[in-house]
Amino acid sequence: MKSLIFIGLLHYPVYNKKGDTVASAITNFDLHDIARVAKTYGIQRLYIINPFRDQKRLAQRILDHWLKGQGNIYNPVRARALELVDIVHSLEEAIQDIVERWGYRPKLIVTDAKMHSNCISYPAAREMLCEKDTYLILFGTAWGIAKEVMDRADYILAPIQGNSNYNHLSVRSAAAIILDRLLGDNR
Amino acid sequence: MKSLIFIGLLHYPVYNKKGDTVASAITNFDLHDIARVAKTYGIQRLYIINPFRDQKRLAQRILDHWLKGQGNIYNPVRARALELVDIVHSLEEAIQDIVERWGYRPKLIVTDAKMHSNCISYPAAREMLCEKDTYLILFGTAWGIAKEVMDRADYILAPIQGNSNYNHLSVRSAAAIILDRLLGDNR
């Protein structure tokens, strides 16, 4: 039996360049690219987590364009990905939504560009996801997920290593690579 | 010995939604996301291939902002990726640049969301890249690389399979996943 897997894209609490805890702005391309990756890899829902009403309204307008407006006429395939998106104000609201609609409290897997002493490897995480369970994989925006959320995690995924010491992927690229490592067929 | 690996992002000739051969517009996020992936995976150069002078000028303005302008002050780490980018008017110009600067004519590896009868698998391609040789991996924009270029390829990579029948990743996500499959350490 396969796990139920959810994704969250966290805009608060995250760090800015100076290490302050901030709320980041929603990026249009994050919605599109990550929703398309989510649809490709059989993810149940993509939660866009942002506490600001204006930001949530902007994201909803983008979604409405592609789900109900001209975007749906121009490219209906895009709608099949974007219909996975829910815009919520907090991580707690995302977790609560999963509990209410699917009946399970998800285990929290967080991602980070930094190595932590208790990281789980990709092969180990891939095997874990094959057991029947419920997981929320959390990606951070700006300069990464704040410690208070990292501390709540059940698992921390190892950072992505390419074959250089450059370690500054966009969250869109990181999400694509991570879901492929965990769920792709890797032919 | 490791191969020399180059990437090209092709804006002409590509297909539009109706299957006509067109030149597509350059997307700002493609430059950033794919350059950062290229830097992460030790790629030599990223060629942005577009025949239109206005489009090339726009891309150069974006690069200049991050390499020489305020962008470099705000985020110098971004410059380390974007300095891999060359803007050229044709695939032939990209190949010629590799020949002139590195001394080798690259083998052409093309990517496509569709399956071809003579596709090379990721494990086979990964092994091939470990031999000392020179490769140009070509990604298409819009609805994919035109047949005239596909026909010139030495190798066609298998399409990315997630675990659904949805097959509409952004080129940014596809490039990230493909370079990770070919060159990542996959821990």
pLDDT in tens, B100-117: 999 999 999 999 999 999
Q: Are B119 and B79 in contact (CB under 8 A)?
A: no
Number of domains composing chain B: 1
Residue B164 to residue A39, Cβ atoms within 8 A:
yes
Query: What does the pLDDT read at residue B2?
Result: 80
Query: Which residues of chain B are within 8 Å of residue A166 when distances are taken between CB atoms?
Result: 36, 39-40, 80-81
- What Å distances lie between residue A50 and A9, A31, A43, B16, CA to CA? 9, 13, 20, 35
For residue A106, pLDDT over 70 is answered with yes
Given the DSSP bridges, would you call strands B14-15 and B21-22 parallel, antiparallel or unpaired?
antiparallel
Read off the CATH number of the domain in which A50 is found.
3.40.1280.10
On whether any CB of chain A is under 8 Å from the CB of B18, the answer is no
Determine the average pLDDT of the residues in B56-81.
95
Residue A170 to residue B122, Cβ atoms within 8 A:
no
- Nearest Cα of chain B lies from the Cα of A172 at a distance, in angstroms, of 7
Query: What does the pLDDT read at residue B185?
Result: 83
On whether any CB of chain A is under 8 Å from the CB of B143, the answer is no
ipTM score for this prediction: 0.96
Residue B183 to residue A162, Cβ atoms within 8 A:
yes
Residue A36 to residue B172, Cβ atoms within 8 A:
no
Range of the domain at B87: 4-183
On whether any CB of chain B is under 8 Å from the CB of A170, the answer is yes
Residue A134 CB partners (closer than 8 Å, separation 6+): A3, A4, A5, A6, A98, A102, A104, A105, A106, A107
pLDDT in tens, B128-183: 999 999 999 999 999 999 999 999 999 999 999 888 899 999 999 999 999 999 99
Query: What does the pLDDT read at residue A2?
Result: 80
Query: What does the pLDDT read at residue B110?
Result: 98
Determine the average pLDDT of the residues in A87-96.
98
On whether any CB of chain B is under 8 Å from the CB of A167, the answer is yes
Query: What does the pLDDT read at residue A95?
Result: 98
Query: What does the pLDDT read at residue A1?
Result: 52
For residue B1, pLDDT over 70 is answered with no
Determine the average pLDDT of the residues in A73-84.
94
pLDDT band for position A11 (cuts 50, 70, 90): very high
Q: Which of B100, B10, B99 is CA-nearest to residue B46?
A: B10
Query: What does the pLDDT read at residue A141?
Result: 97
Query: What does the pLDDT read at residue B47?
Result: 98
Nearest CA in chain B to A31: B170
Whether the upstream peptide bond of residue B13 has omega within 30° of 0, thus cis, is yes
Query: What does the pLDDT read at residue A186?
Result: 67
Query: What does the pLDDT read at residue B163?
Result: 85
Q: What is the mean pLDDT of chain A?
A: 95
Determine the average pLDDT of the residues in B67-85.
95
